[in-house]
Amino acid sequence: MGNSLMATYNRIPIAMTKGEGSYVWGADGAKYLDFCVGIATCSLGHVPPYVKERVEKQLNMLWHCSNLYEIPIQEELADMLTANSCFDKVFFCNSGAEANEGALKLARKYGKEAKGPDCYEVVTFTQSFHGRTMATLAATGQEKIQKGFEPLMPGFRYLPYNDIDALDSVNTAKTCAVLLEVIQGEGGVNTADDQWLKAVETLCRDNGILLMVDEVQTGVGRTGSLFAYQQSGIEPDVMTLAKGLGSGFPIGALLASDKTAAVFGPGTHGSTFGGNPLACSAALATLQFMLETNIPQQAEKLGKYLAESLTGLQARYPQIQEVRGRGLLCGFVIPEQAAAVMEKARGQGVLVLMAGPDVVRILPPLTCTKEEIDHCIRVLDASLAAL
């Protein structure tokens, strides 16, 4: 079995059959503490009862209807997102890459209308990750993601991340947008400096350039605030979401200010499944639960605890070079040994993942307990000791 699948993934030999809270079970009955939750996706843990109830209700009412019709639950979800962010308008889609595609289309159209036909360049950053579609892999500042798919879509420029001086080289007449991750998840858990973010914002404001944040991984409570940009004092024009938005149900979102969203009139963009009632029910319940029970604040506290615990490990294992991240998007740098640590932890029933070749990335459910973090640290400790 399995020979019919394309070999796009190097799969880990666990077939998960059940999930509950912070735990998953393999087909052989083995139980794992899941501190990757589908790559920052099941942020309320597996099968969260509150979300399940709302999706079950929707399952009995209506699964799908076209965006050619009014969809009240989609409007309600959009209102909730705009009420809790600096954005005014929302477009729903199905994934992170699709949300970023929408952002890139929006940026080009905005640039053309605001500054003319030659204003189409989007500035992104080295070690970024924005998706696997043709436009988003071109936006991604990593050669390994782009290799083999040339010619790449034109119109991107890559600058070094966190480098204020490099911003001087931006061609302000030609540039319609800057797209960045507040914390680069896939690229190694690299956190943006607030000062750099401010400098990017100033560059954008002074030159009519859109500031777009890809919060596909950092968004929806993960970093200790509902959205990661909110901790940096910047006010982006555009934001994309996906991973944590639907507790595992596929849904993505593109958010924009009124002024920016105005270029997306009827017929400019669309998606058949985007924001269908079933997906919106999952996202609405996820957000409601998060806001009502202060999950982002909890993630902040637990994140501090996890980072402190990892720093404790670092003191004992000098091969750990750095502890990185914010909230429950956490990682530590351990060159050459990250994969081995991940494997040893898995052998002891704890799932963590990597971010690039040298970083162990830890993405617990935001609903996890201190005891579960302690358990993860004990297993990492044993894994490090066994190297």
Ligand X SMILES: *Cc1c(COP(=O)(O)O)cnc(C)c1O
Tell the smallest beta-carbon distance from residue 100 to ligand X (Å): 6
Please say which residue, 133 or 172, places its beta carbon nearer to ligand X: 133
- Shortest Cβ 101–ligand X spacing (Å): 9
Tokens linked to 96: 């992170």
> Is the Cβ of residue 217 or residue 247 nearer to ligand X in the bound state?
217
Q: How far is the CB of 258 from ligand X (least distance, A)?
A: 24
Q: Which is nearer to ligand X, 216 or 384 (CB)?
A: 216
Contacts (Cβ under 8 Å, ≥6 apart) of 81: 87, 90, 241, 253, 255, 287
- CB closest to ligand X, residue no: 96
Q: What CA–CA distance (Å, rounded) separates 62 from 35?
A: 33
Enumerate the β-bridge partners of residue 240. 214, 254
The least CB distance from residue 116 to ligand X, in Å, is 29
Q: Min. distance of Cβ 181 from ligand X in angstroms? A: 5
Helices of type H across the chain: 37-40, 49-59, 72-83, 96-115, 134-139, 143-146, 194-207, 258-261, 277-292, 295-316, 338-347, 370-385
**Cβ atoms < 10 Å from Cβ of 383:** 22
In this complex, which beta carbon is closest to ligand X, that of residue 243 or of residue 375? 243
Token digits of residue 341: 């640590």
Nearer to ligand X among residue 99 and residue 380 (C-beta)? 99
Q: Minimal CA–CA distance to 383: which of 297, 284, 286, 310?
A: 310
- For binding to ligand X (CB under 6 A), which residues are involved? 95-97, 100, 129-131, 181, 185-186, 214, 216-217, 242-243
CB nearer to ligand X: give 121 or 181: 181
Q: Do the bridges between strand 175-180 and strand 121-125 make them parallel or antiparallel, or are there none, so unpaired?
A: parallel
**Minimal distance in Å, beta carbon 243 to ligand X?**
6
